[in-house]
Structure 1
């Protein structure tokens, strides 16, 4: 027996905003309901928004998305990843480090691009879980111009595409577009004006920032809400989709982050203690430890001794070797790229310590 559900179903939305650099993608995303940013490129410094620390590794980015999901819709209304093309670079670096490759081309036969597409697909599944938790997800992205030729047409023409790598875009860009409920292309609307009597010379005029909501031969866009083909770059024109008032959001408050429970020990529910000291000083970690690894250690409350014990248990390196002296390829390819397995070993060691 199956229950029949009729009518529309109100859910959180999966949104992609893309366009040229500096067009206003981040500013638009900042107007979504109670947004929290994962700023992969450091472009929101001038915005009064809530933001998580800039992820220094692909694993850290995934942990941050999982943490937002666990906080729930009562705390955050929107998760903004700004931008997804910079996030993809973290993904590529992680895969290359895990396979001891210098670049994605070193895999041969296009295998590297397949690995990237598969990992991006898993990440989109994680973001879908965030949406299921009632939190909108907004991915911002840069645009690139590519040559495009339709199979049933003669000749090629230029069109705008998500900037997800010159070659990986053939796999990851379609994944992102298919995943999204709404894809908005943002650009300056220009038109040409003849400068001579014969109309042979023209110059561009205009420059109004415009949101394009439907597919066009020159760009990708879509929506499922009956939006006009073109809209001014004004959040109030799409606010009804997200069931929030169009007035300005209240000033953002600082966010005290904690590691997700699936990858880190539980934390106290009491008010967090603030400190002006840098995170590495608060944690007591050696500042010479490789940055992405140190970030994961801080977020998951892992000590240097625990890393040394986990490494020694697998007989990778001597137990008394300082973490700051570990070979870089080992740190990137094993400790950072496979942090989930490393942390599982650390939890296992903790469980074995008698009280």
Structure 2
């Protein structure tokens, strides 16, 4: 038997904000409850916000999303921007299949791989929302000529900037996934004319956001917002006022340890009793020069040394243990180390448990 429920269900929300560059998407997103940014393009340097390191690979981006969710680090996770995140996805797919570009797959197969990977990523973001954390995706907008088959003429239409050929596959996924899609733009409310009645200058420039679908742009909401509003967070703040915050992990009190004073000894007497001395923290991971930054970032974030990787690589019979990572072929580093990091990391962890 299934239990039937009724009424409004309160939950975290999935929001997409897109518009032309410089209109203030990042500043708008920074006003959501307790945000943490994953800044994929480095555009938040002037904002006083909390942020993860800029991801240098698709795997690093996914790891940061999981860390925000599992650590309950925020009430809102912002990916700024999603079209730059898409480029990390494409790079990962091309590296995994040893292709120079997405077009090299032929017959649109590359875009099929991308659609599948983006779909998995949106499922991961859904897990973030299910954990009680809002997710905000910002994106740039692009204008293209649109023609309806049953209508005469054509008109300009604003869309999510997710690549000219991928927009027909990726944009629908993102729009369907979102609870709210907001299109921000500068409003032109008048056009000046000269003495002969010819139009020559647009007037206006107010920043507005559109919340419902229009032939000239994509937008939607499920909260009864006005179709056009000032591009200010105060207009939607009430929708997030009652969002249940993600529970922060309760700190575990450290056990009280009685520290004994080391006994006095003669200068020539060997020190055999180490009681009373505090444990020394392990040294930080040293990343050799020449290792690609995307791999170095993953190693540093997961406390993985070069020897850890070389051990797994030798166990899989790819290269001898004494082969430095800098001597690995680039396609192996990009496809088998960075691209398959999630599959390799458990093998590294197993080796780290074994005393050598």
Same-fold status (TM-score > 0.5): yes
Is the Cα–Cα contact under 8 Å of residues 192 and 202 in structure 1 kept in the other structure? Answer: no
Is the Cα–Cα contact under 8 Å of residues 33 and 244 in structure 1 kept in the other structure? Answer: no
Length-normalised TM-score, structure 2: 0.87
Is the Cα–Cα contact under 8 Å of residues 192 and 203 in structure 2 kept in the other structure? Answer: no
Alignment match, 1:22: 22
CA RMSD of aligned residues (A): 1.7
Q: Deviations over 1:304-332 (max 9, x none)?
A: 11100111111111210111222211100
Picking from 146, 162, 183, the partner of 1:185 is 183
SS of 2:203's equivalent? strand
Report the Cα distance in structure 2 between the residues aligned to 1:8 and 1:44, rounded to whole angstroms: 35
How far is the alpha carbon of 1:349 from its aligned partner?
Answer: 2.3
Is the Cα–Cα contact under 8 Å of residues 14 and 136 in structure 1 kept in the other structure? Answer: yes
Is the Cα–Cα contact under 8 Å of residues 11 and 134 in structure 1 kept in the other structure? Answer: yes
Length-normalised TM-score, structure 1: 0.87
SS of 2:139's equivalent? strand
Report the Cα distance in structure 2 between the residues aligned to 1:62 and 1:137, rounded to whole angstroms: 14
Please show how residues 197-236 of structure 1 align to structure 2 within 5 Å: 197-236=195-234
How far is the alpha carbon of 1:202 from its aligned partner?
Answer: 3.5
Is the Cα–Cα contact under 8 Å of residues 23 and 187 in structure 1 kept in the other structure? Answer: yes
How far is the alpha carbon of 1:80 from its aligned partner?
Answer: 0.1
Alignment match, 2:312: 310
Alignment match, 2:42: 42
Alignment match, 2:144: 146
Gaps of 5+ in 1: 246-267, 271-280
Report the Cα distance in structure 2 between the residues aligned to 1:77 and 1:152, rounded to whole angstroms: 46
For the pair 1:294 / 2:296, whether they are aligned, the reply is yes
Gaps of 5+ in 2: 244-251, 255-282
Report the Cα distance in structure 1 between the residues aligned to 2:209 and 2:71, rounded to whole angstroms: 31
Alignment match, 1:275: none
For the pair 1:157 / 2:155, whether they are aligned, the reply is yes
Alignment match, 2:131: 133
Picking from 326, 343, 346, the partner of 1:344 is 346
Distance of aligned partners of 1:244 and 1:188 in 2 relative to their CA distance in 1, 3 Å threshold: farther
Report the Cα distance in structure 2 between the residues aligned to 1:152 and 1:313, rounded to whole angstroms: 62
How far is the alpha carbon of 1:148 from its aligned partner?
Answer: 1.3
